């Protein structure tokens, strides 16, 4: 935590706030995390990543999950290509036992994104739909392999 505080004093950017917020959440200091994330929103009011961080703080305790869900659901509407919020929202659906909602959400954004295929595979694995899980793990590996080949060219 000391390193993140020092980084924030030098240059308050999203990464220093992310580190502080994650540190506070790991220590179950929700109020401190919320204070830091609101401070980040004042500085970076147009940042979807900062908005997602607000959702992360609310999602850290069960009483704030509705607020977190609303924040996560608004992010893809504000910026359609922003997938981090979709991944976290899918995870929130799984935690709340709504795996069908998680599957529908991930399938909406999946396209050629290896991390979304991986998350969808994890959801299928949790619900014991192993053939679907395997299919999505394989799709993620194919995408990753293609990406690695393109980087070599």
Domain that holds residue 1: 1-62
Is the pLDDT score of 128 beyond 90?
yes
On whether residue 74 sits in a domain, the answer given is no
Structural domain contains residue 124 = no
**Hey, what are 82's tokens?**
């922003």
Q: Could you give phi then psi for residue 131, rounded to 5 degrees?
A: -70, -40
How would residue 48 be classed by pLDDT, with cut points 50, 70 and 90?
A: confident
Q: Is 26 inside a domain boundary? A: yes
Q: Does residue 98 lie within any of the structural domains?
A: no
Question: Which two structure tokens, joined as six digits, stand for 49?
Answer: 């990543």
């505080």: which residue's tokens? 5
Q: Please report the sign of the dihedral spanned by the C-alpha atoms of residue 116, residue 103, residue 126, residue 137.
A: negative
CA gap 116, 110 in Å, rounded? 6
pLDDT at 4: 80
**Is 73 within a domain?**
no
Number of domains in the chain: 1
How crowded is the C-beta side of 85, counted as CA atoms within 13 Å?
24
Mean pLDDT of 91-115: 86
Residue 32 has pLDDT above 90, yes or no: yes
pLDDT in tens, 14-27: 888 999 999 999 99
In a domain, 9, yes or no: yes
């Amino acid at each position: 935590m000391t390193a993140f505080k020092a980084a924030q004093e030098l240059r308050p950017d999203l990464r220093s706030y992310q580190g502080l917020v994650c540190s506070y959440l790991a220590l179950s200091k929700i109020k401190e995390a919320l204070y830091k994330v609101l401070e980040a929103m004042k500085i970076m009011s147009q940042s979807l990543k900062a908005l997602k961080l607000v959702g992360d703080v609310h999602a850290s305790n069960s009483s704030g999950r509705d607020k977190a869900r609303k924040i996560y659901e608004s992010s893809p509407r504000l910026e359609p290509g922003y997938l981090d919020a979709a991944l976290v929202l899918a995870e929130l659906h799984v935690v709340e036992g709504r795996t069908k909602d998680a599957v529908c959400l991930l399938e909406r954004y999946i396209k050629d994104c290896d991390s979304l295929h991986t998350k969808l595979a994890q959801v299928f694995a949790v619900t014991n739909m192993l053939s679907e899980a395997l299919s999505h793990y394989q799709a993620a590996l194919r995408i990753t392999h293609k990406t690695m080949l393109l980087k070599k060219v």
